[in-house]
Structure 1
Amino acid sequence: MEQQKTTQIVEALLFAAETPLSIRQLRNLLSEFDPEQVGAAVAELRKQYNEQEPARGIELVQVAGGWRFRTRADLSPWVRRLYQQTPLRIGRAMLEVLAIVAYRQPVTRAEVDAIRGVDSAGSLRALLERELIRVVGRKELPGRPQLYGTTKTFLEVFGLR
């Protein structure tokens, strides 16, 4: 099929997706298309949305190992009016625990407690509920403690790849 049609379909998929889509996921979804055309479509969309003058209200960004559309940061005051929701609040203790998990992952609760010097069960539970961390496995120790790691939601919230 022609490149323009591929670009239109990729644009529609990225727009409709709730989570970032990787090039691999896009190629799997569009298996009947030439894989190079799918990659070229993402590059073309990135150029159209991010480099065109005057700038558009949305941009195509790479985040959490994939691509997604989002509103430009300088327009966020107006977009916030649409969603009168409270921002994700993370207390100091939770931020400490999240930083330890992010830097030391996979990490057990006992290891987090040892680094902090206090019990971290409550913070770990709250971070699990907010889907910023997840259980990634179990350590080969007596009792087989859970190992924690960060999630794609963590990457999205903090704007990381």
Structure 2
Amino acid sequence: MRALIGAALLAAGRPVRAAELAKLFELPETQVAAALQSFIGEVQQADLGFQVEAVAGGYRLVVPSELAQQLAPLLAPPPLPSLSGAALEVLAIIAYRQPVMRAEIEAMRGGSAGTVVTLQERELIKVVGRSEALGQPLLYGTTERFLLEFGLRSLADLPPLLSEGTEFSQLLRG
């Protein structure tokens, strides 16, 4: 079972949920979840140069941050360019207030929310529905990719709203 779990996480290259593994292995989810927790413990104890990260509701194999710098030339693809301050502001508003209309974002920012397109192109946000308001404007919410990029298991893991003097960019991993 340990070899199957390790191979599945490596082959997937994305977070895999315990339920997905259970279906793949045709085993009860409780049995797979227990084996998965055992695998995570063994990987931590063995210090193999990789770790299992719980993110976006699933599990994936990753290089520990303390080794990533040294291995940077081998890691692919290169990271996307950093998001602008305006894009980070819009992303924060969407993450904490979703579902949210573009007009609400602009009202909170006191300016344009033009970076919505950039955030959609990067698959960090998506249209999640339409408002009941006049004209039925689009409602925006975050995506699973958002959870992956920010290392969150779910939206419940978002840090508390920022205190004065703290910037959203300080929450980014790596």
TM-score tier by shorter-chain length is: 0.7 to 0.9
Q: Residue 20 of structure 1 is aligned with which of 15, 23, 34?
A: 15
Larger Rg over CA atoms: 1
When normalised by structure 2's length, the TM-score is: 0.82
Q: Residues 69-148 of structure 1 correspond to what in structure 2 (within 5 A)?
A: 69-83=61-75, 85-120=78-113, 122-148=114-140
Match of 1:160, SS state, is: coil
Correspondence 1:160 to 2:152: yes
Of all paired residues, the percent bearing the same amino acid is: 42
Match of 1:103, SS state, is: helix
1:102 is displaced (CA, Å) by 0.4
Q: Which residue of 2 aligns with 1:49?
A: 43
Q: Which residue of 2 aligns with 1:36?
A: 30
Q: Distance in 2 between matches of 1:59 and 1:20?
A: 13
When normalised by structure 1's length, the TM-score is: 0.88
1:35 is displaced (CA, Å) by 2.8
Contact 1:7 1:38 in 2 (8 A): no
Q: Give structure 1 stretches of 5+ with no counterpart.
A: 1-5
1:57 is displaced (CA, Å) by 0.8
Cα RMSD after superposing both structures: 1.5
Match of 2:141, SS state, is: strand
Q: Distance in 1 between matches of 2:147 and 2:141?
A: 12
Q: Distance in 1 between matches of 2:75 and 2:9?
A: 21
Residues 18-44 of structure 1 deviation map (CA, whole Å, 9 limit, x = unaligned): 32111122222222x233321122111
Match of 1:149, SS state, is: strand
